Structures are given as C-alpha cells and as structure tokens.
Structure 1
C-alpha cells in the first residue's frame, strides 16, 4: 500500500479539475454562509426569526447555513433584505471586501458628513490608501536605483530625486578623482 502525506493528497486534489471546481464553488458559498451567520448573530437574530422575515421556514435557513442547500438568487435577495442588507454579486470575489460590523458606524458617519454614498466613501478610502502605498513603493524603488555605475562611469538618477542627490554626487565625484 502506498502512503501519501497530507500535503501530497491535497496537491493531487488541486490537480483534479472536477474537484478543484467544486472546491471553488463551495469556497464562495461557505464564505457567504459565514458572512450571513456572522451578520445574523451580530444582530441577535435566530434562524427562526430570519425565516419569518423571509417568509420561509427555519429548516430552509438551517439547510443554507449547513451548506445542504444551493440557494437561488431570489432566496439570497430575500435573505439579504431580511438582514437589512443589499445583495451584491460580483465576478471579482477575490477583490470584494465586507466592512466588519464594528467599523460600519464609522463609515456611515463619515459618508453622511461628506454627503456621499457609503460605497463611494469606501472606494475613496481604499484608493487613497493604495495610492499612498504605491507612492511609497515607487519612492523606495527609486532610491534603490540611484547608484553609480563604475564600469560606464555614469550616474543613474531618477529625475524626481535629482535635487536630493546633487550635493552627494559632487562629493562622490571628488572622492573618485582622489582615489584614481
């Protein structure tokens, strides 16, 4: 009998397209189920109360939360509405983000103060942060590029950093002349 490590077993599963497809399907569905359960518990709503709000039976909620029911669009729309939300389906699941409950009041307050929609504020905040991160990364990369190439005896300087390095380059020139 051939023994496999757990890692080998899961690697083999990843290579099976049919199994990979099912994993991807249930990954998205389980993420949704966890989000619904978290929202329901945060709002202190029982499965039975949620079912009543949706006009269905508690068993339907139980089957959904235990992944024994593949929900349709109408079920999900009623579920979202019953939880006080709005259904949003995206083809970009890896890039979708749900603001945790503990921060929603801050987002709502800021959006109201600015007179903009909540999702616009979230997009603005996210974009602003990414631009800050991108600028920081670019600046770091530029500083890495500012070097003296001895073989060609020329400086590689990014235009933005020219003023910052001019004094240092003049000193470096003098030191190189003395060393030669």
Structure 2
C-alpha cells in the first residue's frame, strides 16, 4: 500500500529550502510517476510570494487545504505554508494569526514539517544574499540586513516548537550538500 508523503518545507529566507526540495522532488517524482507524460509522481507547491504576511494569507492557505484534500493520495511538497504566514505577519505587520484549525486538518492529512535552518553566522548569510541576488535580482527590493534573517529564523524556531505536526530539523551549513536530502529521504522512509 502506497502512503503518500505530505511535506511542508519551512524556514527563513536564504536557508536553502528550494534547493533541498528540488533534491527530494527529484527522488520522489520519478519513483512515483504514473504516466511518463506529466510529472505526477509528486506535486510541488510554492505560493508565498506576495501572499504570506498579508491580509489574504490565511484565506489563500485555506484554499490550498482544499487542493491538498483533493490530492491527498499523491505526494505533496509545499514550500512554506502556515508557519511562514505566522512569521511574516508577526515581522511585517506585527499581527498574530491563528492556524490551529488548519493545522488540525494538516495533521489529519499526515503533513510533516521539514524545518530548514542556516548557521547563525552573518558572514555566511551575506554570501547567501549575494548568491540570491545573482540568481534573482528582484530580491533586492525586499533585501534585509543579515540580522533580520537571524531574527526571522528564531521566529520560525518558536513556531515549529508549537506545531503539532511532526518535524525534522535540517541545518544547511553549506550548499549543495546532498547528504541533507538523504537525511530527509531516510526520515520519510524512502531510504
């Protein structure tokens, strides 16, 4: 019997979520692909840009929950979800949002959190900022000082501890580091 994986990758900006997700996706998608015409072995959702930390974040996440229910028999990977909305609301709007009900639904769907974090090193963060700007020049419009990213990560840590979802912490000291993807795959029972 196939038990689909439902994974939420959370963590501060610059932590390495997208890269790690790409590694996990590259394992899950071909393994569970059904038709070789579409990439249906794993579904990857990334929805935070311009949504989380705004008045519409909770509503959008509620709609995502409907999609996740529709796809509950499929592998799902979500790049940022309710924890990110909590953190962004707190940091950008000084607002607190409650996700207890949505988290109950996520738990019923057996979602797990993979919390990606970076070492608390301003120099390393500066390098990651430069890497990000080289790939995505538009990131400069929302760029912050290294200390802000450290504060953001601390907020994530607080919220992950409160979550009722199972979680795995992955520290990205250096990327790429393929052993981190292996650690995730072992944790979800794939290796």
Q: Decide: shared fold, TM above 0.5.
A: no
Between structures 1 and 2, the one with greater strand share: 2
- Select the structure with the greater relative contact order (CA < 8 A; seq sep ≥ 6): 2
Per the normalisation by structure 1, the TM-score is: 0.22
Between structures 1 and 2, the one with greater helix share: 1
Pick the structure with greater CA Rg: 1
Per the normalisation by structure 2, the TM-score is: 0.22
